[in-house]
Amino acid sequence: MGNLLRLITGESKEDSQQIFLDFENARPTPEEQEVWEVVNTVLENSSKVLDELKNYRGASDEIRQAISNSRDDALQEVAWQQVLPLVAKLKHFYEFSMELETIVPQLLHALCVSGTSADQRLTNKQALAKQFAEVLHFTLKFDDLKLTNPNIQNDFSYYRRTLSRKRIANEDSGVSAADDQAQVTTEMANRMSLFYAYPTPMLKTLSDATSKFVSENKNLPIENTTDMLSTLCTLCRVMVENEEIAQKFENEETKLFVLSVMVGVVILYDHVHPVGAFTKVSAIDMRATIRVLKDQPQGTVDGLFNALRYTTKHLSDDTTPKQIKMLLA
């Protein structure tokens, strides 16, 4: 993606600073190594999760046939056997979300708990900043794929209904065949149901983990977290705005990566900051952020626009300028 990003801050060139982030080649320093290895163990499976979700076809035809022919035991069994391995995949996705939930606080602690400024923390811990960006990118990519695949909720709902019927039918006979075939426990099924009920479940997980991090670290000024997020957002925006930097992108996917990180940071900031990302006093320049998205080829960032519209917390507040609301209408 090119080597370094230069961001000018300050009121004049004389008091400006230079911030350099290398999202592509950053390697962990000894100080970062321990956290980096823990996070890397999780992130190295993210591509596989996305591939599985991208190729998730569902069992809509088999389920439709089973529902339309409710007395045909053969069709019921065909649908059941088709759904079982799909539920195993859905369980895998959910378990991966729980793994993300455990590493996000570790990244935030490393990037936010320090007496130095946000730009210094990002500069000194570039490998962890890169991993945090990868978490954001994965999150929005996963949710965009999930949002456009209605088979997921349909398959899981059919699985739960059928399993319940099988258990009721076997209660009197004492047969445990239904439980033997169950892919998930009742408790996990309930949690998975709540997870997949959200249009953007990974983003909900990430937002909750970030909010929890702030609430549980009461001795940490909230500005440490919000400043890190707003600084990272500005860095991403400038990377796309600045033609000299943008020309160094190796391909269009790199630009989309940076844009998705930018949007992900906005959403987290909006959930964590008391007044959100859209007010006039926000440290994030939302007009400039939205303008960058609107400058992209039509259709390439629809998922990112939808994420801003539907997963932020304060967009509909009275304090949000009407111009911002109109830009996202």
CA distance 262 to 293: 10
Cut 0.85: pTM above it: yes
pLDDT in tens, the chain (329 residues): 334 444 444 443 333 344 556 777 789 999 999 999 999 999 999 999 999 999 999 999 999 999 999 899 999 999 999 999 999 999 999 999 999 999 999 999 999 987 788 888 888 899 999 999 999 999 989 998 998 899 999 999 999 999 888 887 776 555 555 555 667 888 888 999 999 998 889 988 998 999 899 889 888 888 889 999 999 999 889 888 887 777 766 677 788 888 999 999 999 999 888 899 999 889 999 999 999 999 998 888 888 998 899 888 899 999 999 999 999 98
CA distance 28 to 162: 49
Task: Find out whether 203 and 267 touch, Cβ atoms under 8 Å.
Answer: yes
pLDDT for the residue numbered 103: 96
Query: Which residues, at least 6 apart from 99, have a Cβ–Cβ distance to it below 8 Å?
Result: 42
Where are the alpha helices (H) located in 71-218, listed in sequence order? 73-112, 118-124, 126-147, 151-171, 177-181, 186-197, 201-216
CA distance 271 to 113: 19
Return the residue matching tokens 């998975």: 192
| CA dihedral angle for residue 253, residue 127, residue 223, residue 255, rounded to 10 degrees | -10
Domain ranges of the chain: 1-328
Return the residue matching tokens 């039509």: 298
Q: Three-class SS of residue 302?
A: helix
**Adjacent-strand bridge partners of 8:** 18
pLDDT for the residue numbered 87: 95
Both tokens assigned to 299: 């259709």
Return the residue matching tokens 């930097």: 245
pLDDT for the residue numbered 13: 36
